[in-house]
Amino acid sequence: MTFDEIGLHDELLEGLSCMGFEKATPIQEKTIPETLKGRDVIGCAQTGTGKTGAFILPILHKIRTKEYTNTSTLIIVPTRELALQIDQQVQGLGYFTGATSITLYGGGKAGDFNEQKRAMANGVDIIIATPGKLISHLIMKNIHVSTIENLIFDEADRMLDMGFYDDICRVVSFLPEKRQNLMFSATMPKKIRDLAKRFLKDPIEVNIAISKPSEGVEQTAYMAFEPQKTPLITGVIDNKPEYKSILIFTSTKRKVNGIVRSLKGKGYAVQGISSDLEQAEREEVLLDFTTKKTRVLVATDVISRGIDIKDINLVINYDVPGNPADYVHRIGRTARADTKGAAITLINEEDMYKFRNIERLIEKSVEKLPLPEELGEAPEWKDKSPQKKKKRYYGKKKFYNKKKKGGSQAK
């Protein structure tokens, strides 16, 4: 279905044409008409399927046709990166509509709060905010939300994973009861359904390939001991000179710095990004990666969602993520918009059970490639969960085995 057939405003169609978009993606085709009818909507689809456009386009259409005089739309997101990404989409898609937006998030410069306050006082159509910063403005009455007609939760599963449930409830308590609610997520666990029941009214639910990576991603894995990982990824990068954009995910900020140092020592154009960086530094690093000035970007899960960088050729999971859904989000950074890409995961002896949980989620056994001979022997793949250790209780002079009623005295 084309956007023209959906019935969007001509000025929106002009913006879409300038950005090279003509046909709606499945999630857009199924949710936009329902949103335009005024229905509450739950949209669930894998990353890279156009979820942002699915809620931005009908909201921009409503702003243009209803000609609101005050702030009409609040979009709640888990991270500043996602807030900025959505803001860019608003500015691009809504270029000819004249719609205005502002982002509210923590971690910026000292004067940002006052700048945000002044901007909202001048009037804005759309507020895109993380829960914590939004609450700060609400408490200080910098935002007038009595005119909000559209409430959107984006990456709702991620927000709950990050512990924002109470903050979300508090934000909603400030809003008018009469409003349209849209909820978008890549996964749909029970806690998301519970949240939807609390805030959405008779929603239509649209599910598109839940929790499945794009078919365009070639997924492989290596069994590797921890000391073998960096030499392994060095070899992978050397053997793929055609890959101009490589994203490496790791579990900790400390590992980001270590990997960056090792790859810089090999002469690669590499940078790292984590929550340690100031917002301006993050934006500069992402810009260098987007423009291909940086070939390799090493990151924590801070950017596993909320970035849409074209032509990422390869995603490497230096560590297996603890949450299987995070695997889907990580490798979803490549093969976006029907392109092709590759994803490689390095699995040490302790992370095998985590990866097996991932394979259960995606309903696919990922091919385990042999480790290059020069790196030595690899851990043996074991399709079993780790043995649970017996719990013991230690005292000053005694320890007690839980299975024994009286325990035994330590000698």
Of 339, 347, 315, the closest CA to residue 329 belongs to 315
CA distances from 181 to 19, 112, 184 (A): 27, 29, 10
Is residue 75 pLDDT above 60, yes or no? yes
Q: Summarize pLDDT for 157-215 with one digit per residue, the tens.
A: 889 888 899 999 999 999 999 999 999 987 777 888 889 999 999 999 998 865 567 78
Location of structure tokens 């598109």: 208
Does the domain made of 3-208 have the CATH classification 3.30.1550.10? Answer: no
Q: Average pLDDT of 135-141? A: 92
pLDDT digits (tens, 9 = 90+) for 353-396: 999 999 988 889 999 999 999 999 999 988 655 554 444 444 44
For the ranges 247-251, 265-269, 274-278, 281-285, which has the lowest average pLDDT?
Answer: 274-278
- For the chain, domain boundaries: 3-208, 217-375
- pLDDT digits 0-9 by tens, 205-262: 998 865 567 788 999 999 999 999 999 999 999 999 999 999 999 988 889 999 999 9
pTM score of the predicted model = 0.69
Q: Is the fold of 3-208 the same as that of 217-375?
A: yes
Among 31-40, 103-112, 125-134, 347-356, whose mean pLDDT is lowest? 103-112
pLDDT reported for residue 223: 97
Homologous superfamily of 217-375 in CATH?
A: P-loop containing nucleotide triphosphate hydrolases (3.40.50.300)
Whether 408 has a pLDDT exceeding 80, the answer reads no
Return the closest-CA partner of residue 62 out of 30, 78, 39, 45. 39
| Buried/exposed code over 214-242 (b: 16+ C-beta within 10 A; e: otherwise) | beebebebbbbbeebbbbbbeebbeeeee
What is the average pLDDT value for the chain, to the nearest integer? Answer: 86
d(CA 25, CA 80): 25
Q: What percent of the chain has pLDDT over 70?
A: 89
Please return the burial class of 398, using the count of CB atoms within 10 Å of its CB with bins 0-12, 13-18 and 19+.
exposed
The mean pLDDT value for 96-117 works out to 82
Torsion sign across C-alpha atoms 178, 180, 186, 190: positive
Angle between helices 131-139 and 112-121 (to 10 degrees): 70
Note the pLDDT tens digit of each residue in 293-331. Answer: 999 999 987 776 656 677 899 999 999 998 887 888 889
Question: Which of 72-86, 173-187, 394-408 bottoms out in mean pLDDT, i.e. has the lowest?
Answer: 394-408
Say whether pLDDT at 400 is over 50: no
pLDDT in the model for residue 60:
96
pLDDT on residue 210: 56
165-177 residue pLDDT tens: 999 999 999 999 9
Question: What sign results for the dihedral spanned by CA atoms 233, 239, 243, 244?
Answer: positive
